[in-house]
Amino acid sequence: MSRKLVLAMTLTIFLIGMLGVALKVQMVEASGTITINADGSVEGTTDISTVDNVTYTFTDNINDSIVVERDNIVVDGANYTVQGPGSGTGINLTDRSNVTIKNMEIKTFDRGIWLDESSNNTISKNNITNNNDDGIYITSSSNNNTISGNTVTANNDDGIRLSWSSNNTLSGNNASSNKNDGISLSVSSDNNVLSGNTVSSNKNNGIRLRSSSNNNFTGNNFIDNKQQVYDYSWDNPATPPSINIWDDGAGKGNYWSDYEEKYPNATEMDGSGIWDTAYDIDENNQDNYPLVPEFPSFLILPLFMIATLLAVIAYRRQLKKVNVNT
């Protein structure tokens, strides 16, 4: 079996799983707010344990918001779920430093994770779905954070949104199938690095920019978004344009699913995996080394259609089970 076919089949299985999970929405009534206090104590639940006041580990699912008031800690969800009532914030980090949030599912809040004036934190390997507003919101000079390996998909409004925040690293995230934008950088969110992310099937834009420059986009996959990149200045000339870097300058850019449609006469350069024509975003932004797909590009749309169909079938079965049990 060819490597390209294996990759295509793997993508199909992944998408089916993600879309299936996304459609299993179950609302709960939150009973209050859980707080990890500055002194290391935990208030509001017995389902978060710690033996050293440094590592806090879930022992069950949680149906409340969590506020972190202590620095230099790890909050490990241990693959449990933080579920909201359809409002509020799942995990709130305000004025925090060196906090790690990892290994949890966060769903049905207004915002999944909120960093406000919080720097040098790590958000890693979380599954964030079905929130009314942002999956991950980073704002108010929240700088030097690492956002990696998260799945932020399925009916969040924006997947990952940065505002007034710089020098953050977003790597290996899946920001897909969100109601608005996959990743948004606005209001002087400069000098961020975005690498190895998959940004796909977002209903508005894959990347949305507003007055945010010197960000570096390398090795990302932009697949079947309504619009791959949008800059607020295009429709608002009084706003300065965002000028960013879309390749590493040495032969590696990003994968664009609409590349062959835009440049039907382009060819691969000597088996390098790079197209011979730059991908133009606007007069100030271009990917000089757009990536040739590792699997046949004509398979992308059918794979998404199959995944969507199977997810709808699973959703209808779930509804039938709910109706039977009520």
- Of 3-7, 40-44, 182-186, 279-283, least confident by mean pLDDT is 3-7
Give the pLDDT band of residue 319 (cuts 50, 70, 90): low
Q: What is the pLDDT of residue 172?
A: 98
Q: Round the average pLDDT of the chain to a whole number and report it.
A: 89
Q: Are 326 and 34 in contact (CB under 8 A)?
A: no
- Of 10-14, 106-110, 168-172, 174-178, least confident by mean pLDDT is 10-14
pLDDT of residue 159 exceeding 50: yes
Decide which of 254 and 294 is more confident. 254
Torsion of CA 147, 129, 220, 233, to 10 degrees: -90
pLDDT of residue 318 exceeding 80: no
CATH superfamily membership of 31-245: Single-stranded right-handed beta-helix, Pectin lyase-like (2.160.20.10)
Q: Is 51 left (phi over 0), alpha (psi -120 to 50) or beta?
A: alpha
Task: Quote the longest CA-to-CA distance of the chain.
Answer: 63
Q: What tens digit of pLDDT does each residue of 57-80 get?
A: 999 999 999 999 999 999 999 999
* CB proximity list for 145: less than 8 A, separation 6 or greater: 115, 118, 119, 120, 121, 122, 123, 138, 165, 168, 169
Q: What tens digit of pLDDT does each residue of 196-239 get?
A: 999 999 999 999 999 999 999 999 999 999 999 999 999 999 99
Work out the average pLDDT over 289-295: 88
Give the pLDDT band of residue 86 (cuts 50, 70, 90): very high
Q: Are 200 and 177 in contact (CB under 8 A)?
A: yes
Give the pLDDT band of residue 263 (cuts 50, 70, 90): very high
Report domain extents, the chain: 1-28+297-326, 31-245
Whole-model pTM: value is 0.83
